[in-house]
Structures are given as C-alpha cells and as structure tokens.
Amino acid sequence: MAMASRDQWSGRMGFIFAAAGSAIGLGNIWRFPYTAGESGGGAFVLLYLFFVAVIGIPVVLSELAIGRTTQRNPVGAFKALVPGSLWPYVGGLGVLTGFGILAFYAVIAGWTLSYLYGALTGVYGGVLDGEQSLALFTELISDPTMPIVLSGIFIVLTIIVVRGGVSKGIERVTKVLMPLLLVILVILAIRSVTLPGGVDGLVYLFKPDFSKITISVVMSALGQALFSLSLGMGAMITYGSYFPDKENLPSAGITVAFFDTAIAILAGLIIFPALFSVGVEPGAGPGLVFVVLPSIFGSLPAGQLFAIAFYALLAIAALTSTISLLEVVVSYFVDEKGWSRNKSAWVLGGLCFVLAVPSALASGASPMFTDFLGTGVDFLTLNNNIWGNYSLSIGAISLCIFVGYKWGVPNALASLEASGHKLPAPALFGFLVRYVCPAAVGAVLIYVIVTGNYF
C-alpha cells in the first residue's frame, strides 16, 4: 500500500526525535506540574503513571501500527482500512481536536516567547520573590494585545516549518535540541531539590494522599497521560505513517513514551521543590511554572544564561509540538481535499490564530472570556479540558475498540512487527487494547457524565 513519493524519517532515531519532539512540550513542563498541583500531588502522579502504562503505551502502539500500514493522515487511514464505514469520523474528530488544542496551546507558547525576551533583557537575572514574579506574569497575560501578538508569532513560526515539509527540518533540529533540553532540566532539577525547603516539594510530588482522588482527578490524570504522549487525535498515526519499513517500530514507540514520562517527572522535580521554597501555592493554576521558575534563576550561578537557555528550549519544545498539531490538520487537507501544502498551512494556521484570540483574552483582558458564559471557568481552561481531556479520551477509546474489535490485534501486531522486530509481550498488548483500555476509559467517561463532575 506504500506510496512511493511519500516522505519518511531518515531512520529509527529520526522518528524517535521527531515523535519525542511532538510528545515533549508544554504538556510536560507547563501542564503536568500545574495539573498535579491542582489535583493534590502524589496521588495524581501515581494515577498518571498508571494511565501511561496501561492506556498510553497500547494507544501509542495502536496509532503507530495504523499509520505504518496505511501511510495516511488519520481520516485517510481509517478510509483505507474500512472504506465506507463511520470510522473515518474518528479521524475527523482528531483533526478537529488538532485545531482545538493548537488554538489554546499557541497562547501558552506565546507566553514562553515573552519570557524568553525577558530573560534576554535580564528581567529574570536578579532574585525575584513569588509576589514580584506573579505581578510580572499577571501583567503579561491580562494585557489586551500582547498575548494575541505572541500567539500569532508562534503560529507563523509553526506554519513556516509545516509548509516546508516535516522530515528533514524538524528531524535535524530536534536531534540537537531535545538532548540539550534534557541537560538543562537535569541541572535545574538538581538546583531545585537542593533549595531550602525543597524536600517538602518532593514529599508533595511523591507521597500519595488517596483521599485527594476524586473523579475529576482521575479524569485529569487520564487526559494528561494522553495529552502528554500526543495521543487520541492521530498525531502518532501521522508520524507513524512516515516510519521506514525496515526499522524497529515497537521499540521506537516505547522509547518515546519513556522519555516523555521521564521529562514530565523531571519537570515536577524542578517545580515542586522550588514552589515550596518560594511559598507559591501548588494549586495556583496555569500560571504555576511561569511564576515559580523565574524565582529560581536568580539563585543560580549564571542565572541569566540559564533563564535564556531554558525559555529558548521551552519555546522550541513547544514548537516541535505545535508542528505536529498543525501537521495532522494539514496532512488531512493535503491528502483528502487536494490542497497544496503551502495553502493548507497558511489557511489552517490562520484559522487557528483566529480561534486562539478568545483564549489569549481569557486571563483578564476580556471579562467575557475570563469567566466564560458565567461558568466560572476561563475560555482557555475550558478548551484545555474539552480538547485536551475529553476529546483525546474519546479518541483513545475509539482507537482501542477499532484495533481490538474491527481491524484486529493480529493486524496491528503484523504492522508493528513488519520489519521482523518483535513486540515484547504481544498478548499483554492485545489484552490491554481489547479489555483494559475500553473498560477503564469507558468507566471514567461514564462516571464523569453521570456525576456531572466535568472539571
């Protein structure tokens, strides 16, 4: 079924870096710590790890298997496997989710650009206490124009990479920058855990208090596992579709999941000790990392350099994720609607920018979006929940049902093992895909609907 002209990763490592680039992003460094902080710490972290293992890994492998076999975008992939059925709508939901996530993700990514600028001009070089740092953050996010401009810049950067095609560009960039990001994170984590009072942060992060578990916490942990691994909306179908035939796909998929999870935990090791040390509340919400981190740079030797490197890498980590979000949408319009790559990237990226405006105004600039329709929830958080938790969960359960009962686990295994490299524990994979994933995700979704605890 291979189409000769299709682009491919240069090899297994090329895929690993690009897919890790998609997975590792603001989800690890911004979303994971603040969600863990809002959800009570250790118990949330345990649940998150549980979902990565029993839902995340089987779904990564399922998406990659579909991508490799069909060599198509998410909608085209289902069309190729089950023509004339309703399954392509699952791919369609993925494309829609790509828009939904990009539209709020670009706003946060825009904030990182402002912090990079601040680091370059020395704002975070001196010691800032929690209050000063919060004041700077609030000033930025409640500004009526800056967040819009910054998210626009970020979307344009994303468009420029995506319109040029992915493989060579992203692959080359991510190969150098992802390891560098890892080194900076390790150094920051060491600094953070040795801060006075830092140990309390470790206790908060790792000591589970099961009384904190509610259905919303379970839902957030499930959503976070999927969001962080870029699952449930076809990004891994798309990236798997560029996987070279002779390479080891099972090990590449598992490696990506491992690194993504390790980097989330590392981000936790940076944020929680620092936040206990400067006295910021763990439940501070989406601003958490932006408020806490500036206060540790000042206490590091060469703090300004650290701040510059950190925000530059964070912006790049975000960019390699937004690229994959836009790529899903673009590949659909290129393959299925016959649009040129250039037109798709600009038109769809432009649409995302328009959709991003309400989220950019949702942190104080516009009362309507800050308390959206009187729900008490701001528009950005609402989108983060709807697309980043619910839509991905619906996508993941649909995918497992598809692989488990329609396409069949043997076909998925044959695709994963096409190069002759075996998947360890294939029976476990089949069991998780057929029974555990549909039952667990289904139970969480039904429970949430029945109890009405949406957030």
Residues of the shown chain interacting with ligand PHE in the complex, contacts defined by CB under 6 A = 22-23, 25-28, 101, 227-228, 230, 233, 235, 321, 324-325
252 phi and psi angles, rounded to 5 deg = -65, -45
Query: What would the DSSP string read from start to end of 420-438?
Result: SPPPSSHHHHHHIIIIIHH
Residue among 23 and 148 whose Cβ is closer to ligand PHE: 23
Angstrom distances, CA of residue 361 to CA of 105, 108, 244, 383, 386: 13, 12, 43, 13, 18
CB 58 within 8 A of CB 400: yes
How buried is 245 (Cβ within 10 angstroms: 0-12 exposed, 13-18 middle, 19+ buried)?
exposed
Task: Give the separation between CA 23 and CA 321, rounded to whole angstroms.
Answer: 7
Q: Output the residue with the shortest Cβ distance to ligand PHE.
A: 27
What whole-number distance in Å separates Cα of residue 33 and Cα of residue 36? 5
Per this entry, what is the length of the chain?
455
Q: Nearest Cα to 333, choosing from 348, 350, 354?
A: 348
| Structure tokens that stand for 382 in this block | 């609402």
Closest CA relative to residue 66, chosen from 57, 55, 56, 74: 74
